[in-house]
Amino acid sequence: MDNPLVGPGLAALRERRSVKWRLYGPDVLPLWVAEMDVVPAEPVQRAVVDAMRSGDTGYPWAEDYATALSAFATQRWGWTPDPAAMAIVPDVMLGVVEVLKLVTGPGDAVVVSPPVYPPFFQFVRSLGRRVVEAPLSPAGRLDPETVERACVEATRGGGRAAYLLCNPQNPTGAVHTADELTAVLEVASAHGVRVVADEIHAPLAHPGVRFTPVASLPAGTAAISLMSASKAFNLAGLKAAMAVPGPQARADLARIPEEVSHGASHVGVIAHRAAYLEGGPWLDALLAGLEENRRLLGSLLSQHLPEVGYREPQGTFLAWLDLRAYDLGPDPAAVLRERAKVALHPGPGFGAGGQGHARLNFGTSPEILREAVTRIAAAV
């Protein structure tokens, strides 16, 4: 199967009406938001078109999503979560909010490990919870000692607390190992802190790297994961996701309000189901293309921007760039958007360790990636 990333071409991409291609002017190359420059897998296209033609545009049937996700998890990760225990949610972050409502109360603390997806901070605070940071180690890995200190702080005073974990990590692309996850799960459990995991990038572990679902681990029986086909299959505009509990969290998830299920898109469920059940060959071709781009980006940075701090991601289509050596200030993305006409995602919003950094989306064609790095090099 052809590399999906080679697909549409820049002229066709600029016709898209998503925020990625509309926020900035036509002179800017957008490599910021986590949306790939691909056309969805043919089975997904067919499923959506069939739904339109038959008028199948009503309300979602959650079982279709749950059984498809369970089958995909079995095939990809050797783990078969119980479809009957899952709960459909509008998308991963709204699902995170609903799960946090189940396991914490107003004013309680939520531990996060930055640098991490900016909505972790935004959604948690808008929910009326306070954020406690447990930064990744200097090597970009989960640090059990730091997590323990954060859990102590989070539970000081007797309130409930949660640990909102990102697996794989956005923006660094770290795919946490079973041992790393077990260590922080055990720390959280020892302090009565409930683990909620954003695993939206789960299918995007690079070759030779094993993704481990949090709720599949013996230490993760009380965890609740949020999963979706949206990132791996480029379906962010077709909203749907699943909350997947560990065995001891089933009763908690069963308390999720019934009206939450109304927020998912029926056409989204149809698209995600087709992706999980029939999109495997397309996903494998995408992963091969992302591996080529990952290596290409490393080569381009070495050649044109040798002072950039860059650790090859183990998963996702995101690269975390340390640009401090180029003296571009706390938000290099803002400078590069003006000087280079390349839009990266600003680093400061990712929390501790974000200043002087920017996130680059390499889920695009090799030609666009080359052009972007060339422009950045010329600007600095």
The predicted model scores a pTM of 0.97
What are the structure tokens assigned to 8, written together? 């549409």
Question: pLDDT tens-digit profile of 258-308?
Answer: 999 999 999 999 999 999 999 999 999 999 999 999 999 999 999 999 999
**Tens of pLDDT, residues 186-221:** 999 999 999 999 999 999 999 999 999 999 999 999
Mean pLDDT estimate for the chain: 97
Backbone angles phi, psi at 205, to 5 degrees: -75, 135
Give the whole-angstrom CA distance, residue 179 versus residue 184. 9
For 240-264, write each residue's pLDDT tens digit. Answer: 999 999 999 999 999 999 999 999 9
The predicted pLDDT at position 224 comes to 98
**Among candidate residues 372, 236, 231, the one with its CA nearest the CA of residue 301:** 372
Residues 6 or more apart in contact with residue 83 via CB below 8 angstroms = 63, 66, 67, 69, 70
**Which residues lie closer than 8 Å to 97 by C-beta, 6 or more apart?**
123, 127
- 226 touches 196 (CB < 8 A): yes
Residue whose entry in the numeric block shows the structure tokens 């490990």? 113
Output the pLDDT for position 94: 98
Q: Would you put residue 211 in left (φ > 0), alpha (ψ -120 to 50) or beta?
A: beta
Distance CA 30, CA 364 (A): 10
Which residue type is seen at 243? A
Q: Residue 61: its pLDDT value, please?
A: 95
Instruction: Give the E-state strand segments of the chain in sequence order.
Output: 29-30, 87-89, 109-112, 130-133, 161-166, 193-198, 224-227, 241-245, 309-310, 318-322, 342-343, 345-346, 357-361
| DSSP reduced 3-state for 162 | strand
Percent of the chain with pLDDT over 90: 98
Strands 318-322 and 309-310, sheet pairing: antiparallel
Residue 55, helix vs strand vs coil: coil
Model pLDDT for residues 350-364, shown as the tens digit of each residue: 999 999 999 999 999
Q: What are the tens digits of pLDDT across the range 105-126? A: 999 999 999 999 999 999 999 9
Question: How far apart are alpha carbons 293 and 360 in whole angstroms?
Answer: 12
Q: What is the pLDDT of residue 103?
A: 98
Burial 99-119 (b: 16+ CB within 10 A, else e): bbbbbbeeebbbbbbbbbbbb
Is the peptide bond preceding residue 168 cis, with omega within 30 degrees of 0?
yes
Confidence at residue 157, expressed as pLDDT on a 0 to 100 scale = 86
Tell me: pLDDT of 67 over 90. yes
Residue 172 pLDDT more than 90? yes
Residue 50 token pair: 């069939």
The two structure tokens encoding residue 282? 């397309």
> pLDDT at position 29, please?
98
Residue 61 has which token pair?
A: 């049937």
Give the residue from 70, 102, 107, 67 showing the smallest Cα distance to 195.
102
Calculate what percentage of the chain has a pLDDT beyond 70: 100
Measured CA to CA, the distance from residue 115 to residue 133 in angstroms comes to 9
Confidence tier at 7 by pLDDT (50, 70, 90): confident
Q: Which residues contact 277 (CB under 8 A, 6 or more apart)?
A: 43, 68, 71, 72
Does position 33 have pLDDT exceeding 90, yes or no?
A: yes
Looking at the predicted structure, is the pLDDT value of residue 1 above 90? no
Q: Where does residue 201 rank: exposed (0-12), middle (13-18), buried (19+ CB within 10 A)? A: buried
Q: What is the tens place of the pLDDT at every residue in 149-159?
A: 999 999 998 99
